[in-house]
Structures are given as structure tokens and as C-alpha cells.
Structure 1
Amino acid sequence: MKSGIHLIVTLGLALAASSSLSAPSFAQQGSVAALSAKINALSRAGKYAEALPLAQGQLDSLEKKYGSDNRDVAAALNNLAQIYGAQGRDAEAEPLLKRAIAILDRVSGLDSADAAPELNNLAALDERQRRYADAEPLYQRAVAIRQGALGPDHPDLAISLNNLAGLYQAEGRSADALPIVETTITNGRAQLRVALPVLLAAQRQQLLAGDRALDAALNVVQRATQSSAASAVNKLAVRLAAGTDRLAQLVRRDQDLAAEAEALDKSLLSAVSKDRAKRDAAGEARSRARLAAIATERAGLQKTFATEFPDYAALSNPMPMTAREIQALLSPDEAMVLFAVADKESFVFALTRDAVDWKPVSLGGDALSAKVAAFRRGLDIGKASDASGKAGLFDLALANELYAALLGPVDALVRDKRSLLVAPVGALTALPFHLLVTEPPPSAIPETFAGYRDAAWLLKRQAVSVLPAASSLKASRVFARKEQSTKPLTGFGDPLFNPSREGSGSGRTAVKQASRALVTSAYTDFWQGAGVDRARLAAALPQLPDTADELNAVAKDLGAEASDIHLGAEASETTVKRAPLADYAIIYFATHGLVAGDVKGVAEPSLVLSIPNQPSDLDDGLLTSSEVAQLKLNADWVVLSACNTIAGDKPGAEALSGLARSFFYAGARALLVSHWSVDSEAATRLTISTFDRLKADPKLGRAEALRQAMLAYLNDTSSARNAYPAFWAPFALIGEGAAR
């Protein structure tokens, strides 16, 4: 058995996750600010037992040092109140916030930027208690303060605007909420939790035409999903630009301007938080003028990118598509489904060539995470020995419940299309949609494995492809190369993580066993200063000897030459970067994958290849998404097999969004990945069957070929276990599933 890559396509909702609460005052300096940051980080992580004594201790210490009338004391009160509020202890949070506001009123007046966070947080508390009349003037005051102090385009102002719009919507005042939401959409700072309910209500109340409401909602959804890959895309920029002098210069200029703007913004935030008597009005005016000039110059650069370097612009800053633009990319037998997940409710969007619909989903982020985790618990092959009376096996009733919740609202629009394209987010990135069940089953868990064969699997009805984002559809159908490849396959597997070990691939004597998930250690544990402790990292990375057998079997079936299969020490970055990859129709990686942030200093998803004795810029053992984007591919498939499972139970962690986007840019039409630990025999059989079917009928389409391979396995009655989904359904098609 081997560990399969968990499908963690980072489509996280950075904007949706923006809290209605505000951070403490920017007047804090030094250790006070550092401790406040730690307290708020613990609180956001739900570690209230750790955060609470720190916050109380900070407040006690500052009161002893400064007395009652001090900004830092007010900020400490705000910190403690936020923890209480997050725990549902509003009765204890309210007097703290009121006391903080009173302090700030005495110290600097409530028109100071210092007061906005506390006003905002007290308003949020009133809103939770349904004291809307009390909350409204507080939100309005926070908006006025931030607009005056920070300007119309600042993200802190957007927080207050979203909160005010959310309050109006909670009161049923869609007409008041709509213009605020339209403003935040224009600025690209709308929050899903606010904007989508307002837009849907505005459409239903005929405050906004249906097509305008839909396009505005799609704009919000696409911007939110794009933001999750921002770190990886930014890392792409310099390397993508390296081959073109003019592009390199423009990219460097844009990044320099962005850095300057960030520094100015921090300086301005600090300045406006000072006492009025100590503020430098002329200096603040100069900062604002410079920020405006930077914004204008960067807007001009984006236009230049779009005109002179459209491929780069499409990758680095994809613009949201309208419903009509998405529909134009779909064939008559395709349906596309996009999701938006917020705290309390979610939304599903369905598009076909001729029709569009969008509906609310009753499940919010936490509920979806819990249900997806329960769904996945039934896909552990280690437990799949006998279905008789066993707990923990795959729950057909839950699979049907999720189908009804997620696709049921748009079922009439999508059910008759042969192909279904899904753009999941958050917890849904870990959900294998092809295993949803479209009809209520006779029982949640059949008496025998064979009983799973008769379930109404979605895969029986439709071929399913997964898109990292709506923009990926355009990337794969407009920008991917279409030339004919000359060789069938090249593969890289069973990499050597400990350079001191000798041998390669099938020549090793290592015991063949399932790869282990790194469930007890983060990759950051293996870093010391600026370098990695390679001995510890090598010890933590399980070797993958069985992947050599898989690669050799697939290569033999497809007629690939032995010289095109690179195992052990040859499965290196150096080999990948020097290989003529554009010659191959299939590129196969059998190794671990790192999600963004796993390794200190690696802010983008990566594939782990053989770790060299002497790391260099060319080869440090990690093939990052930046480096993938520089590859020249012409691949129908990129197969990612046997990847790290550290983020498998943390839906939304960034694993594939940056990699997929980079592979598309480099020239791949599709990725084939697995959702869970896969039986090696099953993996080899499924991949070979898929490639065989496509080879026999290239017009079949990749997603349909995979679908037929899975169904053939499911319907093979030679073994009862063949009907169990953990064996026949591990793979997912990411990207272009149709024949093009």
C-alpha cells in the first residue's frame, strides 16, 4: 500500500474568514504589541485556555504600570474582551469594551483611529445580542473614523463597511446594505459572509437585476478563491519573468512599489494613532499622496501586463469572469458547479451552456468540515476487511445527505449533463464528489462489501473533474499548449530522502509498506536557523519503494522506454529540470507533497524529490510551484501519486492550488491525484486502465476514461472488496477532463 496525495486544493476563503472583530490599537509598541499578537493568534486558533491568562496578565501588568487612562490599557481590555466574546461570554466582554472606549475618549477622543477597533467590537457584541439599534451608530462611527483616518481603499475600512452591511442585512434592510456591498465589491474587499446573502436578497426583492446580482456574486467568489493562492503566485513572479528582460524589469518595479506601499501604510497607521498634538499632518499628507501615486502606477503596470504579456497577467492576476464568460467555455454536455463557504451558510452556483442558477446551502464551514471528516473516515483501506457489522466503514446515508445539501439545490440544472466540473473550497476540497450518492440507500452501511456496488454513486451518472478555481477553466482551455507529444511517459519515483543511503528504486532492500502520515511533527520542526536539519527531515519522510513497481508497470503498459523512468537518486530536481519534458504526453511524479507553510521559508506548495548531498539553487530537493511554472510541458496528464498526508484532515490547506496553476501554465491539461492511501495493486490497475481507454479512444476525454476505469473496477465481481469505494475510487481528475 502507498500513501496517496490528499486533494487539498487551496481555494480557501481569505476574505470570508475576515473576522467582524478588530485587532488592537496600532499605538501598541514593542513587547506590548508582540504579546497582543500572540494573544490574538491563540484566540483565533481557539486556544482560549492559553490566551486568557496571558490577556489577563497583560491587563494587570499595564494597569499597574500606567494606571487607568492609557491607550495600551485600552488595547489590553480589548484583547481580553475578544477572548470572552469568542467563548460566548458577552456579559463579561461588554464592560471591558465599554471601559476601553471610555479610556480612549478621555485620552484622545472617539474620533481617533485608536477608537475604531473597540467601537467595532462593541457593535459586534450588540449585534450578537440582537441589539441592532445600539450596534448601528457604533459601526457607523467606526466607518467614519477609518474613512477619515485611512482613506476609502484601506482594508480596515472595508472590515467596518462589511460589518455595517451585515448588520443591515440581519435587520432585513437589504436596500441599505446593497450600496455598501457594491462599494466593497468595487474595491475588491467584499466578504462572502456578507456580500452573498445581500446580493441574493437584492435579487429576490428585485433591487438588483438577476444577471447583475449573479455576476457580482461570482466576482466575490472568484476573488475570494484567488486570494488563497496569492502567496504562491507572488513567488512565481520573479522566476517567470527571468527569461524576458522587459517583463523582469516591470515585475521588479511592481514588487518594489508594493513593498513601498506596505511600508507607507504601516507608517500611516502608526501616525494616525498618535495624540493629535503629536501628529505630523504634513507628513501624513505626503504619505497619502505617495500611496495614491503608487496605486496609479501599479494600475498602469497591470494594464501593460495584460496588453504585452497576457499569459503572465492571466496567471498572476486572473480577473473574475462573468457568468456569460464561464458559459462560453462550457460544451453543451458540461455543467460547472462553484461553491462559496462562509461561517453559517454556504452557496452553490451552477452553470451550463444555456442556464445559470445559484442557491444557499444550509451548512456553514464548521458543519461542512465535520461532515466531510466523517465522510472520509469510511475510506481507510486498513479498516476495509469485512463490512459485516463494522463501525467506521463508508456511510452511504451521509454521502446521500451531502449530495442533497450541496448539489440538490441545483440538481435540475446539472443532472442531465454527461460531465460535471466542480470548483470546491474550504472543507469541500477534501471531498471526493464522485462518491456522493444521488438516491437514499436502503441502509447506511451494507451487510457486505458487495452491497456497495448497487449504490447510486454520482460517478455512475457523470464524469467528474475538479477545478482549483473558475479561472483554471480558462487557463486550461485557452492558455495550455495543444501540440502533439512524441513520447508516451516519463516518471520520477521512489526518491532518496537520505543521501547517505545507496541504491535506487527497485534495487533497494527497504521493506515495502504504506507511507506514514507526518501526524506528530510539522516540517518547521526540521529547520535550524536558515537551513534544514536534513537528517531529521530524512528520518521523518517515509521512503516509497513500492512506487518504483507502479511506475515500471505503467511504463511497460504504455510502451515507455526504461531510460524515461527515473528512480532513487535519479528522481531529482536536476533530472526534472534538464529533461525534455515537452516531449512526453504523461509526466508521473510518485513522491511526497508539501503544503504551503510546512517548511519554514517555503511559502508555496512543493513536491519532494531526492535530497542532494550538497543543496544548490538548481537542486535543493524541493520542486516548488515557482519552479514548476518554469518547466516546458506538453502533457495530457501530470500524475501526482503517493504524496504527503499531513494536511489530509485539514481541508483548505494549500497543497494543489499553486501546483495546479503552475502545471497548467507550464503546459499541462490535467492532473491525476489520489484522495487517500491507495492499495498499490488497485492504483496500478486503475491508472493503466484509464490510460488504456484513452489510448484506444482519444475522443473519450480524460475524466470519462477515469470514470470508466473506476466503474470497471467497481463492477468486477471476482472479489467482494472491489465494490468498496476505498479501493475503486481514490483518484480525482484536476483540470481539463474533456478531450481537446
Structure 2
Amino acid sequence: MSFCKRVAIAAGAILIASGLAQPSLAQKADLAAESARIIALSRAGQYREALPLAQAMVARLEATANKRDLAAALTNLGQVLASLGRDAEAELIYKRAISLYEAALGLDSVEIAPALNNLAALYQRQQRYAEAEPLFVRALAIREKALGSSHPDVGQALNNLATLYERQDRHRDAEPLFKRALVIYRKAAGNDSAPVATLLNNLGQLTKSDGRFDEAEPLIRQSLAIREKLLGADHPDVARSLNNLADLKQRQQRYDDAEPLFVRALAIRERALGPDHPDAVTALNNLAGLYLAAGRNTDALRLIDRAVARGQAQSKVALPVLFAAGRDGGMPAGQAFDAAIDVVQRSAQSQAAAAVDKLAVRLAAGNDRLAELVRKDQDLAAANDALDKSLIAAVSRPAGQRDLAAEARDKARLAAIIAERAGLRATLAREFPDYAALSNPLPLKLAEIQPLLAGDEALVAFAAVDDRSFVLAITRDRFDWRQVPVGTDGLARDVMRFRRGLAPGALQDGGDPSALFDLAVAHALYRTLLQPVDALIKDKRSLLIVPSGPLTALPFHLLVTEPPAAPVPGNVAGYRDAAWLLRRHAVAVLPSLGSLKALRGGPGGDRGGRPMIGFGDPVFDPALAAGPRRSATKQAARSIATLAYTEFWRGAGVDRSQLARALAQLPDTADELNAVASDLGAPASDLHLGTDASESTVKHTPLADYRIVYFATHGLVAGDVKGLAEPSLALSIPASPSALDDGLLTASEVAQLKLNADFVVLSACNTIAGDKPGAEALSGLARAFVYAGARALLVTHWAVDSAAATRLMTDTFHRLKEHPTIGRSEALRQAMLALLDDRSSPANAYPSVWAPFVLLGETEMR
């Protein structure tokens, strides 16, 4: 989605009511005054001040029998919590408020609508669109029934639902709703009102996205004219309209018309909000994007230089500009490359932020020095956000209502908070470098990366943007980068085609050749992704891959380096002779460029003294914990593929009853763990199976004593996990879940474990990606294990064949025991090739059998 489309949606949010419900406390003047105070503080962006008041009001009303007043107070509290980013708590509060309203007033009371709208808006922000839609639809139906089809609140509800559809590119559903809302607001507020300006803008953005430029331009111009008339020429909302009109001109390749509009929008935002504000940064990148599109690379580079220096460059603009500058001599090649890897790392950091945020919440609950610093950082971040919202609201007032002195004080306070937070981060980096490296890693420069690489290693990183991608290759003494004419959507389609035929059972799908792995597709992807830098990497024994976006779902070792022979129907053994990349390189994946320093930058340290601890065959349904029902279920489960499940997340956690029904038991994982433990000499007492494969066991066991920590279970990490859903491992679900043990070991809980492991194995998990691959899943769980003390992880790209998994793991660890200097990735490579080349069964040559595992993290034994 382009920035300009996001602007349209943000503008639409003007019509989404704050949802702060005024409790019916007419006879209780003190509570009425408190409610008014909460609403006033919230509207001013002073959420930290509003929170204790909202909590106190709820506490006072809990003791009463007045469900209606309590529901209203809960709605207010939920809104404050959501504004502070505490979505998990807000969701539960909203749900409780809705339930109380229904009990007190019935299902169709108009008083329920704000709580429905607030919960829907929370889901929408988390991109949980399927859950948001019925809530918005219900709120609209309630308001139409209670207020009539022409009431302004109905217009608001129409806009809410239309904006949801717009975010999903459901333009045919959104457009008639926007038009209905526009008619309502023109009648209720007048043709020159702010809501009319917002709806005209939204319709203009929608028609522009559809390529209906002749329809879009008058709509956007009308919106701009209304805003200038109501708000003045220097209002931030005017800058929004200017940007949207400029984007229209750019899409029409009318670059000379677009430039003054973008320039003016940038000037307004920098003047009103400061040059470092996110809105001003976006405006700067938009102008640079215009210059890039117009072929004015020198002008674009001037702006991108500013953005890179501040850590504010957006990859979709910056990378093409820097690539052109390095190629054409606009800046030294090494300088352009350094700037590019800075942009790539900052982008990846933002994608993995969710897991880090959840870890910070957990750490802040402690009572040690780290907890104190993390809490202080959270308080400063909240104060920064609240003050920023207050400042935006202040500068958005009409000129005659603005308090310039107060705005200046707010800007000074904001600058002071930013400076204080920078000092705090320096303290964290000094006292707790591991946490600082996880939570706020500084991008590595080329000169820092190259010494970390061995002479026979090459590192290859990828960055995909809208219509193109970049591959960046680094060795100990050289570097190169190339532009690839395939963007994020194209790569996603290619990866999906590539993964066809890799699921277990593909060989048994009736022998349909189209259902099998396609070697030609694997070779085409090799030509796209690695052949452009082949001169740099082809002679290196080891490849370190840093994927992004759709490429997190790509098992790179299955790329094919030479054109394959024409397939022979039914000849599965023909896969054995393909030119697999694995035959040329040992391949490992890094969750980020910065993780290379975290893994290699410090001393190796002593390993754990005991060989292995394992957790497997967990019990997902407590009712099946023992007896014949569990035995029968185990037997049936042997034919069920292991899958990843993200759809079971529900706000603060998981619908565990649904999860228990859906997760297949994994009886073969017990066999796998026993076989690996036997080969490594691990005693049976270090294997935790069935109900003992639980969070409680994991958290109470001294894991740092073990060189290998082995999880054989489902992984809930595939896909672009949104909202509060964390990448997790599914363990035995207890009959009475608690905060300590709810059956899911999340990334933030993993990061609090104490490990000293050469390997963490995540087997039979589908632990990298599923149908909707996303970098967050890969980075979140991997970074958590690295932070906890794992040097490397073995993870799977698809559900594994149990017998093959046992053989691959035992062979890998046996090779490392016999030859520890060969390194982890090489040991895995040899084990996979041994299975591939085993002619005792033709099926051994098929890639879903021999290639599910990938090494993530440090390749060498140190």
C-alpha cells in the first residue's frame, strides 16, 4: 500500500469517534466530573494522566449493581489503554463492556455502538480485518435502527466500515458507503465542513487507486479547498491534501505539477511538527520519490542523504536512489553500499519490533536494575507519544485558536524527552549490552561486517520493495549489490510456486506431476536471486543468507544452479541429479544483519555440560492426557501433517479450546527424541514427553546446563503475525491455564530463558513460514532464542517426515561429535546429502524428505 493510500485512511479516521462514552451519572456529580476529566485529558492526548482516573472510576463502580454505568466506564478505560498501546488489556475491557451493555440494555441499544466501534478499530489497527468487519457492521445497523439513516452518527459508522474495506482494497464495497456518508454530512454539516473534506479526500484516494484520475482530481481539490478555508494554509491537514494531490500528479507523470505540491507539504510539516517528526520524514521521502521517478537522481540523492544521516530513509525510495548513485558515480560505491545496508537493517528492525516490545513488558515487571531502566524507557516512550499527539492536535487548530507559546513549550518538552531517552539507551547499551543489541541494535557498517566473515564465507542479504528487489553480497574483502526487477508481490508468487510439492504426502497425491516440486521454478529463482552476484559467492564454501519478506519462506538450499533436465513422469529418483545449491554451499540463515555481530562479536564461552534436553509429544487436549483415548488419538495423528497455526490468536492470547481441537498430536516426536538422545548419550530423565512437555517444565529446568535444547512440537510462528499474536511453540495445554503455564511458550518468554546451547532444535514445527510468510515470525522467535543464549537454531520449512527427521538429526549430531571442526551448517549439509544420495529408496531423493531443516544462526562451533 502506498503512503498516499495510508494518508487517505488516516484522514478517514477523523470521522471515527473517540468512542469515549459519557456514563449516566446525573445524580453522582463527583463521578460525572471525573468522567468529564477523563474525556478531556484523553482528547488532549494526556493518556498517562487519564489512566489512573479511569481505573479508579471502574473500581468504584465494580461495587455497584449498575451494569450500564460500569460498561460506560469500562469503555472509557479501554479507550485510554488502547491510546497507550496496551491493546491486549483494552481488548478484554471492551469485550467486558459490550457484555455488560447487552445484559443491561439488550443487544440493539445504541449505547453499545461506541464500544463495538472501539473494539473494531483496535482489530483494524492490528490488521485483524475479519474480526473488525462484523463489529463495524453491527454498530452501523444499531445506529441506523435507532437514529435513522440520515443521522450524522450513521455517516460516521458508514465511513468506519468503508475505511475498513479500503484497507483491504475492497473498493467496490467501500465506494458506495463513502458516498452515502458524504450525502449525510453535506446535509448535516454543510458543504464546507471538515467531515465533508475528509470524505471527499477518501473518495479521491479510492478513485485514484483505481486509476480513475479524472474523477479523483476534482474530489481531492475540493477537499484541499475546504481545508484551506477552514484551517488555514499552513495546517497539517492541508499538507495531507497537498501530498495526495501531488501523488496523483506523479502517477500521471506530471512531475512539474507535483513538485511544488510536495515541497509545500514538506515545508508545512517541518514548520508545524519539526524536521524529525514521522510525518515530516514521510514528506521528505515522498519528495525524493518524485525526483527518482522524474529521473532527477541528484536531487533525490540530496534528500536521501539527509534521511539516511538521521536514520529516517524509507527503503522503497532510498535503495533505488542509492543504487543509482553508486552505479553512476553520484557517490563513492562503498559509501552508497554502506548507506544501503543501513537502510536495510533499520527496515528489518522495525519489522521485528513486536516481539521486542512484548519482551520489554515482561522485563519491566521485574525488580532488578534492568527492569528499572526498561520501565523508565517505557514511561518516556509513552510520554513522547502522548505529547506528540497533543502537539499535532494543537497545531491542527484554526489559526485564531492556536497557543503558540504552549506549542513552543511542548516542542521543547518533546526535545528534552528525546534527549533523555537517548541517554537512557546509552546507559542500557553500557550496562546491558545484550538487551540493547536486541531492543535497539545499531546498524552495522561494511567495515564491521567484513572482519566477522571467514575467508570461505559469503553473506547475502535481500531487500524487496514495491516493484523491485535488491541483493547485497559481502565477503571478507569484497562487496557487490544488484537490482532485481521483481518486487514483493512478485517474489511472494514465485515463492508460493516454488514451495508447491514440498508438503508431506506430495508423492502420494495420485502421481500428478503438477503437484510435485518444480525444478525449473527452482532454477528460475536462482537466476533471479543469486546469479546476479554469482561471481562473488560461487567459490565460497558457506553462504549466510539474510532474507526479508516473502523470502523468509524460501529454503535457499533447494535452489537449482543449472538448467534441469526435463522431468520423467514417475521418476522421483531424477531429483537426485539436480544441481542443488546445497551441493555447492553449506547454507545458513541469519535473522538480521546485526545478528552476525551478536553471534560472533563476543567470546565463545563455555558450553553447557550435559548433552541434550528434549521436549516432545505434548498433550494439547487435557481430556486426552491419559488412557485409551490418548493412545487412539496418537495412532490417528501419525497420518496428519504438522501445520502452523496463527489464526488461533485472539487478542491477548489464544482460543485454547479451538487450538486443542485443531492441533494434531505428534506421537512420532517421542521416537525422534529417544533416537537422538540415544545417539548423544543423553539419559531418559532429560526427555520430557506428554504432559511433562510443558511450559512449567521448561521454565523450571536449568536449561543452561545443556548443549542441545530440543523442541519437537508445533510452531505457531508462520505468517505475518499481526497485533498481539507472538511467535510461539505449542506445549502441553494445562487443564487450568495460568500466567506461568498457558500452553504456549512465546517469543518474549523464550527471551527470558537462560540458555548456553550450541543448538536449539525446533523439529516438526513448520517453524519458519506458511502460506503468508513474514519476516516478523522468523526474526521474532530466532532473536529471542539468540538473546536467551542459543548460538544456533535448527528449524523446519514444512512439516517433516518423522523417520527422515530422526535420521537427519541423529546424523547431523553424530557428524559434529566425530568432527566438531566442520561446523554446524556443514554437518547438516552432509547429513542431507547422505539422505539424498541414499538409493535404498527412490523417495529419499525427493526434497520434502531430505531438505526440511535449515540452520539459523552461527554456523561454526566456537
Q: TM-score, normalised by structure 1?
A: 0.92
Give the distance between the partners of 1:582 and 1:617, measured in 2 at CA. 23
Give the distance between the partners of 1:211 and 1:600, measured in 2 at CA. 37
Q: 1:421 maps to which residue?
A: 544
Between 34-43 and 607-616, the greater mean CA deviation after superposition: 34-43
Q: Could you tell me how far 1:322 is from its partner in structure 2?
A: 0.4
Q: Secondary structure at the match of 1:563?
A: helix
Q: Secondary structure at the match of 1:312?
A: helix
Pairing of 1:74-93 with structure 2 (within 5 A): 74-93=197-216
Q: Secondary structure at the match of 2:176?
A: helix
Query: Compared with structure 1, are the counterparts of its residues 519 and 727 closer, same or farther at alpha carbon in structure 2 (3 Å cutoff)?
Result: closer
Q: Secondary structure at the match of 1:470?
A: coil
Give the distance between the partners of 1:271 and 1:27, measured in 2 at CA. 15
AA in 2 matched with 1:555: A
Q: 2:679 maps to which residue?
A: 557
Is structure 2 residue 105 aligned with structure 1 residue 120? no
Q: 2:42 maps to which residue?
A: none
AA in 2 matched with 1:22: V
Specify every segment of 5 or more residues in structure 1 that has no aligned partner in the other structure, as ranges: 1-15
Give the distance between the partners of 1:410 and 1:505, measured in 2 at CA. 58
Q: Could you tell me how far 1:356 is from its partner in structure 2?
A: 0.6
AA in 2 matched with 1:618: L
AA in 2 matched with 1:731: F
Is structure 2 residue 522 aligned with structure 1 residue 522? no
- Whether contact under 8 Å (2:495, 2:554) holds in the other structure is yes
AA in 1 matched with 2:425: Q
Between 240-249 and 697-706, the greater mean CA deviation after superposition: 240-249
- Whether contact under 8 Å (2:763, 2:805) holds in the other structure is no
- Whether contact under 8 Å (1:465, 1:737) holds in the other structure is yes
Q: Select which of 98, 106, 114 maps to 2:221.
A: 98
- Whether contact under 8 Å (1:27, 1:273) holds in the other structure is no
Q: Secondary structure at the match of 1:655?
A: helix
Q: 1:692 maps to which residue?
A: 814
Give the distance between the partners of 1:36 and 1:291, measured in 2 at CA. 33
Give the distance between the partners of 2:828 and 2:540, measured in 1 at CA. 17
Query: Compared with structure 1, are the counterparts of its residues 520 and 313 closer, same or farther at alpha carbon in structure 2 (3 Å cutoff)?
Result: closer
Q: Secondary structure at the match of 1:110?
A: coil
AA in 2 matched with 1:638: V
Pairing of 1:229-268 with structure 2 (within 5 A): 229-240=352-363, 245-268=368-391
Q: Could you tell me how far 1:707 is from its partner in structure 2?
A: 0.5
Q: Could you tell me how far 1:59 is from its partner in structure 2?
A: 2.0
Residues 154-199 of structure 1: CA deviation (Å, up to 9, x unaligned): 1111111111001111111111111211222233221111001111
- Whether contact under 8 Å (2:645, 2:717) holds in the other structure is no
Query: Compared with structure 1, are the counterparts of its residues 107 and 507 closer, same or farther at alpha carbon in structure 2 (3 Å cutoff)?
Result: closer
Q: 2:731 maps to which residue?
A: 609
Q: Secondary structure at the match of 1:68?
A: coil
Give the distance between the partners of 2:156 and 2:716, measured in 1 at CA. 32
Q: Could you tell me how far 1:503 is from its partner in structure 2?
A: 2.5
- Whether contact under 8 Å (2:721, 2:727) holds in the other structure is no
Q: 1:408 maps to which residue?
A: 531
- Whether contact under 8 Å (2:644, 2:715) holds in the other structure is no
Is structure 2 residue 634 aligned with structure 1 residue 512? no
AA in 1 matched with 2:469: S
Residues 273-326 of structure 1: CA deviation (Å, up to 9, x unaligned): 222222232322222111111001011111111222222211211100001111
Between 380-389 and 557-566, the greater mean CA deviation after superposition: 380-389
Between 153-162 and 411-420, the greater mean CA deviation after superposition: 153-162
Residues 620-672 of structure 1: CA deviation (Å, up to 9, x unaligned): 22212222112111111111123268960102163231111111111111111
Q: Secondary structure at the match of 1:114?
A: helix
Q: Secondary structure at the match of 1:677?
A: coil
AA in 1 matched with 2:737: P
Between 609-618 and 125-134, the greater mean CA deviation after superposition: 609-618
Q: Secondary structure at the match of 2:751?
A: helix
Q: Could you tell me how far 1:701 is from its partner in structure 2?
A: 0.7
Q: 1:731 maps to which residue?
A: 853
Query: Compared with structure 1, are the counterparts of its residues 318 and 532 closer, same or farther at alpha carbon in structure 2 (3 Å cutoff)?
Result: closer
Give the distance between the partners of 1:327 and 1:36, measured in 2 at CA. 53
Give the distance between the partners of 2:639 and 2:526, measured in 1 at CA. 31
Query: Compared with structure 1, are the counterparts of its residues 643 and 520 closer, same or farther at alpha carbon in structure 2 (3 Å cutoff)?
Result: closer
Query: Compared with structure 1, are the counterparts of its residues 723 and 155 closer, same or farther at alpha carbon in structure 2 (3 Å cutoff)?
Result: same
Give the distance between the partners of 2:156 and 2:595, measured in 1 at CA. 40
Give the distance between the partners of 1:28 and 1:187, measured in 2 at CA. 34
Is structure 2 residue 297 aligned with structure 1 residue 179? no
- Whether contact under 8 Å (2:720, 2:774) holds in the other structure is no
Between 326-335 and 271-280, the greater mean CA deviation after superposition: 271-280
Q: Secondary structure at the match of 1:651?
A: coil
Query: Compared with structure 1, are the counterparts of its residues 505 and 196 closer, same or farther at alpha carbon in structure 2 (3 Å cutoff)?
Result: farther
Give the distance between the partners of 2:683 and 2:644, measured in 1 at CA. 38
Q: Secondary structure at the match of 1:634?
A: coil
The RMSD of aligned alpha carbons is 2.6
Q: 2:663 maps to which residue?
A: 541
Q: 2:277 maps to which residue?
A: 154
Q: 2:320 maps to which residue?
A: 197
Give the distance between the partners of 2:185 and 2:629, measured in 1 at CA. 64
Give the distance between the partners of 1:533 and 1:169, measured in 2 at CA. 48
Query: Compared with structure 1, are the counterparts of its residues 210 and 290 closer, same or farther at alpha carbon in structure 2 (3 Å cutoff)?
Result: same
AA in 1 matched with 2:493: A
Q: Select which of 583, 606, 611 maps to 1:460.
A: 583
- Whether contact under 8 Å (2:766, 2:795) holds in the other structure is no
- Whether contact under 8 Å (1:335, 1:417) holds in the other structure is yes
Q: Could you tell me how far 1:533 is from its partner in structure 2?
A: 4.6
Is structure 2 residue 292 aligned with structure 1 residue 169? yes
Q: 1:503 maps to which residue?
A: 626
- Whether contact under 8 Å (1:596, 1:602) holds in the other structure is no
Query: Compared with structure 1, are the counterparts of its residues 505 and 410 closer, same or farther at alpha carbon in structure 2 (3 Å cutoff)?
Result: farther
Q: 1:5 maps to which residue?
A: none
Is structure 2 residue 793 aligned with structure 1 residue 668? no
Specify every segment of 5 or more residues in structure 2 that has no aligned partner in the other structure, as ranges: 18-152
Greater RCO, 1 or 2 (C-alpha within 8 Å, sep 6+): 1
Q: Select which of 798, 810, 823 maps to 1:701.
A: 823
Q: Could you tell me how far 1:459 is from its partner in structure 2?
A: 0.2
Task: Select the structure of larger CA radius of gyration.
Answer: 2
Q: Could you tell me how far 1:22 is from its partner in structure 2?
A: 1.8
- Whether contact under 8 Å (1:20, 1:159) holds in the other structure is no
Give the distance between the partners of 1:88 and 1:546, measured in 2 at CA. 54
AA in 1 matched with 2:638: Q
Give the distance between the partners of 1:112 and 1:342, measured in 2 at CA. 31
Query: Compared with structure 1, are the counterparts of its residues 620 and 630 closer, same or farther at alpha carbon in structure 2 (3 Å cutoff)?
Result: same
Give the distance between the partners of 1:92 and 1:118, measured in 2 at CA. 16
Q: 1:22 maps to which residue?
A: 7
Residues 406-439 of structure 1: CA deviation (Å, up to 9, x unaligned): 1111100001000000000000000000000111
Q: Select which of 483, 492, 499 maps to 1:376.
A: 499
Q: Could you tell me how far 1:535 is from its partner in structure 2?
A: 2.5
Residues 49-87 of structure 1: CA deviation (Å, up to 9, x unaligned): 332333223222222221210111111111122222223
Q: Could you tell me how far 1:708 is from its partner in structure 2?
A: 0.6
Give the distance between the partners of 1:93 and 1:174, measured in 2 at CA. 29
Is structure 2 residue 388 aligned with structure 1 residue 286? no
Q: 1:712 maps to which residue?
A: 834
Give the distance between the partners of 2:649 and 2:614, measured in 1 at CA. 29
Pairing of 1:199-218 with structure 2 (within 5 A): 199-218=322-341
Q: Could you tell me how far 1:466 is from its partner in structure 2?
A: 0.4
Q: 2:467 maps to which residue?
A: 344
Q: 2:187 maps to which residue?
A: 64
Q: Secondary structure at the match of 1:84?
A: helix
Q: Secondary structure at the match of 2:614?
A: strand
Query: Compared with structure 1, are the counterparts of its residues 89 and 595 closer, same or farther at alpha carbon in structure 2 (3 Å cutoff)?
Result: farther
Is structure 2 residue 294 aligned with structure 1 residue 309? no
Percent identity, aligned pairs only? 59
Give the distance between the partners of 1:599 and 1:537, measured in 2 at CA. 16
Give the distance between the partners of 1:226 and 1:371, measured in 2 at CA. 25
Pairing of 1:558-637 with structure 2 (within 5 A): 558-595=680-717, 602-637=724-759
Q: TM-score, normalised by structure 2?
A: 0.80
Between 301-310 and 706-715, the greater mean CA deviation after superposition: 301-310
Q: 1:10 maps to which residue?
A: none
